[in-house]
Amino acid sequence: MRRLIVLTVITLLVSLAGCASYATPGGPADMSVVGMSEMARKNGTDSSLLPAFDKKPLAHLPASIAVAHIQAAGYRSDTAIGWGGGRYSVITNNEVEDGIALDKLCKLDGIAQIAPINRLLLPSDLTSDLELRNAAAQLHADMLLVYTFDTTFRDHDVAGPLSVVTLGLAPDHTIKIISTASAVLLDTRNGYVYGIASATDTESNLSTSWNTDSAIDASRLKAEKEAFQKLAGELVKTWNGVSRQLAVNSGK
């Protein structure tokens, strides 16, 4: 399990004493809790992996898909607060999701509808994909699409990732914002993994252009919005493969 951090230190801690700074909203969710784990087969199948390999796709076309945006537990930004505790939290308002990108997915052959998961369908303790799949079942969704963002700020002048960004008080460093959106498509009934997708966007800004928390957060949102739009394109490719396989399984 890797630990992913959203923002990073621009200058030495000594120079930051007494300076205002932007606080990270929180990291990405650990996607292994929703089935996105690495599996290897060598000289047969390890007994611990048998349950995963024994799962079979149960959905039929056209399929309804529930959608959940998850981040690390305790996620908080100027525009969103994660719901739930445990191993991850769910973001139930659209920070960066683009309606056009979602419409693109809705229009794909084999998809009946796409619906977001509401916090009213979720418990407060979130430990695995089961809580999300239960919510998807209440929506009568055949599949569950789960995605998260891993966003980091990197200052190439000090050659490292940073966790705090000063508000207009740092030297004129060029900061790269790197946001990766990752998604996994699951079967609601048994957690079978149909496919995964990811996409990355990179934005560049001068550190001195950030003189408020909102300016820094706007740059983060821009990078994540672009990453989500690219992710939607990758999900189209993923879905095309999934729908072909389901059509073969059903004998069509």
CATH number at residue 132: 3.30.160
Mean pLDDT along residues 129-152: 96
What is the C-alpha radius of gyration for the chain, rounded to an integer number of angstroms? 20
**240: amino acid identity, one letter:** N
pLDDT in tens, 201-229: 998 877 777 777 788 888 899 999 999 99
Are 146 and 68 spatial neighbours (Cβ–Cβ below 8 Å)?
yes
Q: Does residue 31 sit within a domain? A: yes
Q: What is the pLDDT of residue 7?
A: 30
Q: Does residue 70 sit within a domain? A: yes
For the chain, the domain total comes to 1
Quick one: tokens of 155? Answer: 């200052």
Provide, rounded to the nearest whole percent, the portion of the chain with pLDDT above 90: 46
Are 101 and 69 spatial neighbours (Cβ–Cβ below 8 Å)?
no
63-71 and 111-116 as β-strands: parallel, antiparallel, unpaired? parallel
CA atoms within 13 A on the CB side of 54: 6
The whole-angstrom separation of Cα 61 and Cα 142 is 9
- pLDDT reading at 15 higher than 70: no
**247: amino acid identity, one letter:** A
The pTM assigned to this predicted structure is 0.77
Q: Does residue 198 sit within a domain? A: yes
Q: Does residue 11 sit within a domain? A: no
Mean pLDDT along residues 90-95: 87
pLDDT confidence of 41, banded at 50, 70, 90?
Answer: very low
Q: What is the pLDDT of residue 201?
A: 95
201 DSSP β-pair partners:
179
Mean pLDDT along residues 89-102: 80
Q: Does residue 40 sit within a domain? A: no
**What is the extent of the structural domain holding 88?**
25-35+55-247
The whole-angstrom separation of Cα 135 and Cα 122 is 6
Q: What is the pLDDT of residue 245?
A: 87
Q: Does residue 99 sit within a domain? A: yes
Q: Does residue 152 sit within a domain? A: yes
Q: Does residue 48 sit within a domain? A: no
